């Protein structure tokens, strides 16, 4: 941070008597990401409708700034200010943009001063002014005129790369939504939009020379027979690149190679190692059909595609993917093997490296640089490649040690397709667990790097893979408010960050997000499970860990609304009921509605069987079943006894159902919670009660059921379907609500 003399004087004068001002700071000024330096003073400036905007000599991007400021102020306050700059320096009621000509200032640096004389934003470039505007907009109250607290801010980012990624291939999103996404990024001073445009499940960018990429490659036939897809025309892409540029955001396109390319192969099958035809994928995963690395045609095709991509995107970087490329076809392809021999490549990893380096060389010749996922380290890094570290931070550390630039996007903290709350509460997501606080606590520069190596960490990015985001509403839900946490990670200094302070500032940001119609995640009430069984009466306590929020609920099966009961003490039920509950935040944002079945039953009767053997009986039924009701006993393939509730390892069939029966021994009287984490449908019954029911195909989540049991032995039945190649299953239980463990073999009998 460099500081002009005048600012320093102003600053230090304030600092001398600002302990009270700082104490109040969080109340009126809630900027995210937190500025490097901020001093508040008592009082506020009111600007009137005919506010004058004045630009000093040499301010860049005047029209863009003015238009943006005017539109945003109007949206925020209802006041419309003219989109025209004032020719004379106004005396009052003014917002001044003043160009800084000090070479010590950074390109993204700005200062914002609000006092009795007006608003002054100083910066060196359009970017700096734009960030000054963002901070200004965040301190103006919503719908209360233009009333701005006195403040002095001097600010610049910690990292120069502040990214958000979006996969538009697994699910496709409209141009309007992409703009909304970019607007949200702009609000939080994020500066790079990584646009994932090609995948196994769809090719989404018009390429004039290869029309089949979008005629064929942009469309898939879903499992239910419907056609799904879409793509962006070159005109739409230009419109989005301009829209982003007007918000000082660079768009980096990703054209995946050599893997994740089934959609391209469906259009141009001759680019594969093996004969087609190929269909645009309608399942999620990693697929063995990839571009052939032995054919010259592959490279001329990709170069043609990249030439059109370069024309559309002015970005210095082009992302070329490089992740998750199976080498199986290359191993048995004569042309790939010939290439390896000719080029002296020892293995298929080196062939992948050859592929990437050849593409890099082409792009360098066009004055562009490549970014690739961290697999591009395998077999040797292309000379000028930037590495996006996603399988943890290790790839990034290795690349930085090799003096390559790095962008950190580890799955642990930066995958916004992961769950942000307990997965028995949340809508289905891909897996993982990255709640807001975890994102907030991410440190992009690993301690393993020395000072010199640390300079290669350009910044960080959140990745938004959309397998489980069918709608733009769901995308919003997954990124907000986590984008706020990430914005602070990449902008604010390490010492600047404070979780409690951030949470307090979030109060105002929930209001802003609500005002901008962003379907933000709000924590749903915790407590109870999906199915709760009781004998006499049941007492259910709930809680939500969010400031300024309350819980409302209904017991009559209707969705909670403004007329519903507000939760103040544990809910007591005497009869079978469905309790529906929801968190309501002061901002007006609401959580998803949880629906809990609470079922009154007679106490379970312990079985009297004796002489039981250990383990449970199982049978495997051949077939690809979509739900439990479809299972028939027609094709029983195999029967036996198992001691763990799992799919047996040695079954050759890819798809089947499994029925497990026997007894479970309960050692002590307690309330037991049964857990099932699964991808495909599963049911767990005790006695004749269905305790846990997991519905939905290819739908990773957990379901829970809770029941009281006395010491004894009870019939148990588990039915599970394997309809997805990578399906897995976990069945566990616990007697204390939390510490779930797999059911031990010593408790299982038949």
User: Using the rule CB under 6 A, is 323 a contact of ligand ACM?
Assistant: yes
Q: How far apart are CA 295 and CA 701, in angstroms?
A: 42
| Residue 292 partner contact from ligand ACM, Zn ion, none using kind-dependent CB cut-offs of 5 to 8 Å | Zn ion
Over the window 360 to 389, marking each residue x when it contacts ligand ACM by CB under 6 A and - when it does not, the resulting string is -------------x----------------
User: Using the rule CB under 6 A, is 390 a contact of ligand ACM?
Assistant: yes
| Residue 604 partner contact from Zn ion, ligand ACM, none using kind-dependent CB cut-offs of 5 to 8 Å | none
Q: How far is the CB of 292 from Zn ion (least distance, A)?
A: 3
User: What three-state secondary structure class fits 668?
Assistant: coil
Residue 438 burial class via C-beta count within 10 angstroms: exposed 0-12, middle 13-18, buried 19 and up: middle
| Residue 333 partner contact from Zn ion, ligand ACM, none using kind-dependent CB cut-offs of 5 to 8 Å | Zn ion
Using CA atoms, how far residue 624 sits from 179, 631, 730, in Å, is: 41, 9, 20
Query: Which residues in 647-706 contact ligand ACM (CB under 6 A)?
Result: none
Among positive and negative, which fits the CA dihedral 586, 591, 593, 598? Answer: negative
Written as six digits, the tokens of 525 are 């009430």
| Residue 323 partner contact from Zn ion, ligand ACM, none using kind-dependent CB cut-offs of 5 to 8 Å | ligand ACM
| Residue 336 partner contact from Zn ion, ligand ACM, none using kind-dependent CB cut-offs of 5 to 8 Å | Zn ion
Using CA atoms, how far residue 255 sits from 172, 318, 325, in Å, is: 16, 8, 14
Nearest to 263 by CA among 201, 320, 308: 201
Residue closer to ligand ACM (CB basis): 11 or 415: 415
User: Using the rule CB under 6 A, is 394 a contact of ligand ACM?
Assistant: no
| Residue 64 partner contact from Zn ion, ligand ACM, none using kind-dependent CB cut-offs of 5 to 8 Å | none
Q: How far is the CB of 355 from ligand ACM (least distance, A)?
A: 17
| Residue 217 partner contact from Zn ion, ligand ACM, none using kind-dependent CB cut-offs of 5 to 8 Å | none
Give the interface with Zn ion as residue ranges (CB under 5 A). 273, 292, 294, 333, 335-336
Residue closer to ligand ACM (CB basis): 417 or 488: 417
| Residue 105 partner contact from Zn ion, ligand ACM, none using kind-dependent CB cut-offs of 5 to 8 Å | none
Residue closer to ligand ACM (CB basis): 200 or 511: 200
| Residue 324 partner contact from ligand ACM, Zn ion, none using kind-dependent CB cut-offs of 5 to 8 Å | ligand ACM
Written as six digits, the tokens of 366 are 């066009």
Q: How far is the CB of 345 from Zn ion (least distance, A)?
A: 13
Q: Exactly one of 283, 324, 448, 597 binds ligand ACM (CB under 6 A); which one? A: 324
Q: How far apart are CA 200 and CA 471, in angstroms?
A: 19
User: Using the rule CB under 6 A, is 477 a contact of ligand ACM?
Assistant: no
Q: How far is the CB of 285 from ligand ACM (least distance, A)?
A: 11
Residue closer to ligand ACM (CB basis): 245 or 698: 698
Residue closer to ligand ACM (CB basis): 409 or 472: 409
Written as six digits, the tokens of 112 are 């914002």
Q: How far is the CB of 151 from ligand ACM (least distance, A)?
A: 40
Residue closer to ligand ACM (CB basis): 61 or 200: 200
Q: How far is the CB of 390 from ligand ACM (least distance, A)?
A: 4
Written as six digits, the tokens of 76 are 């925020």
User: What three-state secondary structure class fits 744?
Assistant: coil
Residue closer to ligand ACM (CB basis): 112 or 169: 169
Residue closer to Zn ion (CB basis): 292 or 596: 292
Nearest to 33 by CA among 681, 352, 456, 491: 491
Under DSSP, the state recorded for 287 is: -
Number of residues that bind ligand ACM (CB under 6 A): 4
Residue closer to ligand ACM (CB basis): 464 or 540: 464
Q: How far is the CB of 317 from ligand ACM (least distance, A)?
A: 16
CA angle 83, 84, 86 (to 5 degrees): 140
Residue closer to Zn ion (CB basis): 270 or 669: 270
Give kind and range of the element (H or E) at residue 616: strand 616-622
**130-135: long-range contacts, CB 8 A cutoff, minimum separation 24:** 130/61, 130/65, 130/68, 130/186, 130/247, 130/248, 131/155, 131/189, 131/248, 133/65, 133/68, 133/69, 133/72, 134/186, 134/187, 134/188, 134/189, 135/31, 135/35, 135/110
Dihedrals phi, psi of 578, to nearest 5 degrees: -110, 120
Q: How far apart are CA 688 and CA 685, in angstroms?
A: 6
Give kind and range of the element (H or E) at residue 302: helix 296-312
Residues within the interface to ligand ACM (CB under 6 A): 323-324, 373, 390
């Amino acid at each position: 941070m460099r500081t002009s003399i005048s600012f320093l004087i102003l600053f230090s004068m304030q600092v001398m008597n600002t302990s009270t001002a700082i104490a109040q700071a969080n109340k009126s000024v809630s900027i995210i990401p937190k500025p490097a330096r901020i001093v508040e003073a008592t009082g506020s400036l009111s600007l009137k409708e005919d506010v004058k905007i004045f630009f000093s000599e040499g301010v860049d991007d005047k029209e863009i700034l003015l238009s943006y400021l005017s539109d945003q102020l109007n949206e925020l306050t209802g006041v419309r200010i003219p989109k025209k700059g004032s020719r004379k320096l106004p005396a009052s009621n003014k917002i001044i943009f003043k160009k800084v000509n000090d070479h010590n200032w950074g390109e993204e640096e700005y200062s914002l001063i609000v006092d009795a004389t007006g608003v002054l934003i100083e910066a060196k470039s359009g970017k700096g002014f734009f960030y000054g505007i963002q901070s200004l907009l965040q301190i103006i109250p919503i719908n209360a005129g233009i009333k701005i607290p006195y403040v002095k801010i001097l600010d610049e980012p910690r990292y120069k790369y502040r990214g958000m990624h979006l996969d538009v291939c697994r699910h496709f999103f409209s141009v309007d939504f992409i703009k909304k996404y970019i607007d949200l990024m702009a609000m939080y001073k994020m500066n790079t939009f990584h646009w994932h445009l090609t995948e196994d499940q769809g090719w989404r960018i018009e390429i004039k020379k290869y029309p089949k990429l979008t005629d064929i490659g942009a469309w898939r036939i879903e499992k239910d027979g419907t056609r799904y897809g879409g793509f962006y025309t070159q005109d739409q892409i230009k419109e989005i690149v301009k829209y982003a540029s007007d918000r000082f955001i660079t768009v980096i396109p990703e054209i995946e190679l050599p893997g994740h390319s089934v959609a391209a192969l469906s259009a141009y099958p001759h680019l594969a190692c093996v004969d087609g035809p190929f269909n645009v994928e309608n399942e999620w995963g990693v697929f063995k059909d990839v571009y052939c690395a032995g054919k010259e045609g592959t490279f001329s095709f990709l170069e043609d595609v990249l030439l059109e991509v370069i024309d559309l995107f002015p970005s210095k970087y082009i992302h070329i993917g490089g992740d998750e490329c199976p080498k199986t076809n290359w191993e048995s392809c004569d042309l790939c093997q010939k290439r390896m021999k000719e080029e002296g490549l020892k293995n298929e990893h080196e062939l992948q490296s050859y592929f990437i380096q050849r593409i890099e060389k082409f792009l360098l010749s066009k004055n562009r640089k490549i970014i690739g996922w961290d697999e591009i380290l395998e077999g040797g890094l292309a000379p000028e490649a930037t590495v996006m570290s996603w399988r943890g931070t290790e790839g990034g550390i290795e690349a930085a040690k090799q003096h390559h630039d790095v962008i950190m996007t580890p799955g642990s903290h930066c995958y916004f397709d992961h769950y942000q709350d307990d997965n028995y509460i949340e809508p289905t997501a891909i897996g993982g667990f990255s709640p807001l606080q975890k994102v907030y606590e991410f440190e992009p520069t690993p301690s393993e790097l020395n000072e010199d190596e640390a300079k290669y960490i350009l910044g960080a990015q959140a990745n938004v893979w959309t397998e489980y985001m069918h709608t733009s509403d769901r995308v919003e839900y997954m990124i907000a408010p986590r984008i706020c946490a990430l914005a602070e990670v990449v902008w604010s200094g390490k010492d600047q960050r404070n979780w409690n302070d951030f949470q307090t500032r979030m109060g105002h940001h929930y209001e802003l997000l609500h005002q901008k119609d962003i379907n933000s995640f709000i924590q749903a009430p915790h407590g109870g499970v999906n199915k709760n069984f009781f004998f006499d009466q049941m007492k259910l306590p709930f809680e939500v860990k969010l400031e300024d929020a309350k819980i409302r609920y209904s017991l009559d099966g209707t969705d909670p609304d403004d007329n519903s009961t507000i939760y103040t003490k544990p809910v007591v039920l005497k009869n079978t009921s469905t309790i529906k509950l929801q968190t309501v935040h002061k901002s007006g944002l609401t959580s998803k509605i949880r629906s809990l079945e609470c079922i009154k039953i007679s106490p379970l009767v312990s079985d009297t069987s004796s002489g039981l053997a250990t383990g449970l009986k199982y049978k495997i039924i051949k077939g690809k079943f979509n739900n439990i009701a479809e299972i028939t006993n027609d094709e029983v393939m195999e029967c036996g006894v198992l001691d763990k509730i799992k799919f047996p390892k040695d079954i050759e069939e890819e798809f089947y159902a499994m029925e497990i029966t026997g007894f479970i021994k309960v050692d002590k009287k307690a309330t037991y919670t049964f857990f099932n984490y699964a991808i495909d449908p599963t049911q767990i019954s005790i006695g004749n009660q269905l305790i846990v029911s997991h519905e939905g195909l290819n739908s990773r989540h957990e379901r829970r059921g809770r029941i009281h049991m006395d010491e004894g032995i009870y019939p148990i039945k588990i039915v599970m379907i394997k309809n997805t190649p990578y399906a897995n299953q976990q069945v566990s239980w616990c007697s204390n609500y939390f510490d779930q463990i797999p059911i031990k073999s010593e408790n299982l009998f038949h």
